[in-house]
Amino acid sequence: MKKTLFAAALLASAVTVSAQPSITLFGVVDARVAIGRGSLADAVQLTSAGLNTSRLGFRGSEDLGGGLAASFWLEAALSNDSGAGGPTNTNNQASGAGTGSSGSQGLTFARRSTVSLTGRNWGELRLGREYVPQYLNLLFDPFGNVGVGVPLTLSSIITGVTSTRASNGVAYFLPAGLGGFYGTARYYLGENSRDGAATEDDGNGGGVRIGYASGPLDMAVATGRTEYASGDTRQTNIGGSWNFKVAKVFLVIGRDRRGALRGRSWEVAGVVPLGRGEFKLALSDYSTDAAGNPESKKVALGYVQHLSKRTALYTTWARVENSGGAAASLNGSSTAANASSSGLDLGIRHSF
């Protein structure tokens, strides 16, 4: 009898949850064969995230009336080739990083874990882990910053664990309806003990982004800084796109810093729709002022064939050339300083 009552309670709970239209389950499963060639070692892998990052997420909202709404967003990264979850970072420092080793990383909502309060006229206040503002400009990229086509503006960046996301943050987003202008500001905490140590502010930081989107144009400028006793990191960039309908072009220019080390980057890219498919091209460059002025240059070519709104087949080829002591390599291969590396992705992506 108790088992029957318990089962009935579970069923009633499930029906109640599923009946709420404001709660959504979503995700992406993306698998690829990744081939890498380098001067020292080659690699062949079955891995994920060639077109989009594999993920599982839950989001929902509640209308509070008077133009006010509360919402949440929980999104986890997945390695669907092994079943492992994506690692997170708890304090925006090396000490808070997850292991990420295959089979040992449980499910974490590392991509995004936020709760928000939104007002129609005043914008959105958002708390939790998510993208830092300056990373959003790096998304002016046809490859979405994943797979062998990921540009050097991200893959070679020197700003460390907060180059993409940060934990323990409070963010504000401007409301819609500002004549095309948009923006966000975010502050986050390393949450160290306030004991007077030189490292007590490690992991604290923030960033701001201001942009304008109207018609075919979308462009934004952003900057952010994270504090460390060993030397602060700073990430500043400008990015944009212009949609010519027959093609969409992208441009990103970045300036980064980690202590005394400085980095410079750029990307020029485009997407050309071809029926139910699209062709992608990107050129990117990253250099630093370290001894020898190491520099990497990359070209990436890709094609996506959409089988439906949710399913696509894709392939991407890329090659990187190194100089000045740089040794960037692709798809798990390794290459010597000043040598080249190439990679190829063949994959399928399904979203739900």
**pTM for this predicted structure:** 0.90
- Spatial CB neighbours of 327, under 8 Å, sequence gap ≥ 6: 334, 335, 336, 337, 338, 339
CB 114 within 8 A of CB 225: no
Domains of the chain: 120-351 (2.40.160.10)
Return the CA Rg of the chain: 22
- Surface-to-core class of residue 179, CB atoms within 10 Å of its CB (0-12 exposed, 13-18 middle, 19+ buried): exposed
Strand partners for 288: 263
CA dihedral 288, 289, 291, 297 (to 10 degrees): 30
CA–CA distance, 158 with 64 (Å, rounded to integer): 43
**pLDDT given at position 99:** 55
CA–CA distance, 128 with 141 (Å, rounded to integer): 26
- Surface-to-core class of residue 235, CB atoms within 10 Å of its CB (0-12 exposed, 13-18 middle, 19+ buried): buried
Closest among 348, 290, 352 to 324, alpha carbons compared: 290
Count of CB atoms within 10 A of residue 216's CB? 12
CA–CA distance, 27 with 107 (Å, rounded to integer): 14
- Spatial CB neighbours of 119, under 8 Å, sequence gap ≥ 6: 67, 68, 175
Closest among 296, 314, 333 to 143, alpha carbons compared: 314
- Spatial CB neighbours of 216, under 8 Å, sequence gap ≥ 6: 242, 243, 244, 245
Sequential pLDDT tens for the chain (352 residues): 444 444 444 444 444 444 445 899 999 999 999 999 999 999 999 999 999 999 999 999 999 999 999 999 999 999 999 999 999 999 999 999 865 544 467 889 999 999 999 999 999 999 999 999 999 999 999 999 999 999 999 999 999 999 999 999 999 999 999 999 999 999 999 999 999 999 999 999 999 999 999 999 999 999 999 999 999 999 999 999 999 999 999 999 999 999 999 999 999 999 999 999 999 999 999 999 999 999 999 999 999 999 999 999 999 999 999 999 999 999 999 999 999 999 999 999 999 9
Closest among 151, 131, 133, 132 to 141, alpha carbons compared: 151
CA–CA distance, 47 with 171 (Å, rounded to integer): 33
- Spatial CB neighbours of 170, under 8 Å, sequence gap ≥ 6: 125, 126, 127, 186, 187, 188
CA–CA distance, 51 with 345 (Å, rounded to integer): 9
**pLDDT given at position 97:** 86
Closest among 250, 203, 176, 174 to 96, alpha carbons compared: 203
